[in-house]
Structure 1
């Protein structure tokens, strides 16, 4: 699927693309393109909307079994900051909040604990909707940002790490703005990964699930174009896996920021520099494992998902190593094909001494490694591809 610019709807210019082996989907060309007019970067070519929704609904998992469904320390810290940031920007916390992309409900539970009387989520993942109810007694509309409906009016709308996933983010922002016209003053808090200098971006920053990429300038423009007026901005570069930006905006007109200027040249250079860095990074990680892999009897990949796809896409793994299987702790993924492999439950594999497991995950590598002590106890070697904090 070829996409137009998500911000100004102009045709885009492809900078690079590769074939990705995706879980539950056929091998697909995934590329990253730039808008010659405004300089915004998006995923194009990409899978179509229905395939992406099928991925979210049946495959995507955003809670880690290694934490027994508990939020990470970073998540707790980030929520502490978001609540205080919004409270400071508004002056007080409002009475009602709607979160679009509410995941497992933890964020809404924290806002409720902070004193907000009415909380409601919108979440496309069926598993996450169930988790929100079971873990936090948070009710969610099971639907997408594009299709959900509600007759309620909310003073605050949250979209943390959602806009980068939407095929038509401006349509959803316009929908939010219209929903808040019956309140005296409505507020929206947006947080997204920040496309900064290539040297600041983590491995896998340009990913399958993120189809829109935001700088400080085009995120401000995305809000002002639909009627919101930004009132507060925060940016972090080192505290999360990738840089992030958060903006609190109001339905009341204000004049705090200058008009948008196109960043086409700078953003294209970021894409080109990042692509070279990405290939070098993944291949370097694999090369570091090769002395160990030469001793293996069988090799399995741990993690049916995006990082396994990136490992295969960005390295010569399949040319030099025979992969005997793919496994994951998530029952949602069992029985689903990713490339030539069928994902199995780890309990269904007849593990043998001398088997090797490559953990492909970047974000959850340490937690997965710790959780796999039972494999090491029976003589299976578990290898961390990225060796982050192990």
Structure 2
């Protein structure tokens, strides 16, 4: 499906597209486009909203091997900073907070521990809602950002790594503003991946789940158009998997940021340069391990999901090798079809010496590799595609 610009609703221009073998969905053309009016970049063509909601409900999980459902050190660090950033920008922490896209509940638990009295989440993922209640006793509205309803008003609304996922992010921001019709000042904290220079962007930056892409300028305009004014901004380029920008904004007028200027030419160039860099990167990773793959008895891909889609879309893997199966530790994925394979439970496979497992994940690659010692002990080769130990994931 073709999408209009998420910021100004203009028709968009496709810069590149390719066929993705998506988990639980038929192969689909996925592309990335630029708006010729405001310069914003979005995923288009894309899957439909209902198909994306099916993906989140069935595929989005927040448990990882070796971590026992605990947050990463980077996540703990990022929450330390977010809480301090908001406290410094406002002067205090508000009494009530709503988080849209509350994931496993860890973020809200930290704000509660810091002194916020009333916390509530909004989360579409079934597994995540259950985790939030079980791990942190956080209550969540089990619904999407677009469809949830509440009669409460909140002094602080938090959207960390959410706007890039939404089909109509401006509607959600305006909905947030309606939940802050307070006699006192209300605040919103938004954090998203920052579309910076191609050299700053990680492999897979233009991904399936991320359908909107933000620069500093269009993020400020997004908040301004929804009735907010920027109080504070922070940008990080090296501390996370991808560059990020965080913005604290107020319901009261401020005059800190310049007027929005469209950068159509610059953003088009970022997409074009990144695409060439991305294909060369993925193919180079495959070429480095191709001799080992081709000497294996059978090959299984580890990880039903987007990185498996990306290696299929961006390399010659299927032309160079026969892939015998797909496996994953998440029971939610067992039985799901992705391309020519159905995802199997690891312990349902009759592993044999000489088999090979190729880990497709980027952010969790080292974590998965360390957890697969039991396969190496029985003679199964486990190969890392990216070989990056420190992905600094958020």
Q: Give the alignment's TM-score, normalised by structure 2.
A: 0.98
Shift of 1:182: 2.4
Q: Is the 8 A contact 1:155 1:183 kept in 2?
A: no
How many positions carry a matched residue from both structures? Answer: 390
1:1-390 residue pairs with structure 2 within 5 A?
Answer: 1-389=1-389
Q: Is the 8 A contact 1:15 1:272 kept in 2?
A: yes
Shift of 1:389: 1.7
C-alpha RMSD of matched pairs (Å)? 0.7
Shift of 1:58: 1.1
Q: Residues of 1 paired with 2:180 and 2:105: CA distance?
A: 22
Q: Secondary structure at the match of 1:56?
A: helix
Unaligned 5+ runs, structure 1: none
Residue by residue, what CA displacement relative to the aligned partner does 1:59-86 show, whole Å, maximum 9, x if unpaired? 1223323311100000000000000000
Q: Is the 8 A contact 1:154 1:183 kept in 2?
A: no
Q: Secondary structure at the match of 2:269?
A: helix
Q: Residues of 2 paired with 1:335 and 1:227: CA distance?
A: 45
Q: Secondary structure at the match of 2:75?
A: helix
Q: Is the 8 A contact 2:157 2:187 kept in 1?
A: yes
Residue by residue, what CA displacement relative to the aligned partner does 1:208-256 show, whole Å, maximum 9, x if unpaired? 0000000000000000011100000000000001000000000001110
Shift of 1:183: 4.4
Q: Residues of 1 paired with 2:104 and 2:20: CA distance?
A: 28
Q: Residues of 1 paired with 2:13 and 2:127: CA distance?
A: 37
Unaligned 5+ runs, structure 2: none
Q: Residues of 2 paired with 1:152 and 1:38: CA distance?
A: 34
Residue by residue, what CA displacement relative to the aligned partner does 1:326-382 show, whole Å, maximum 9, x if unpaired? 000000000000000000000000000000000000000010001111111111110
Q: Secondary structure at the match of 1:66?
A: coil
Q: Residues of 2 paired with 1:218 and 1:244: CA distance?
A: 14
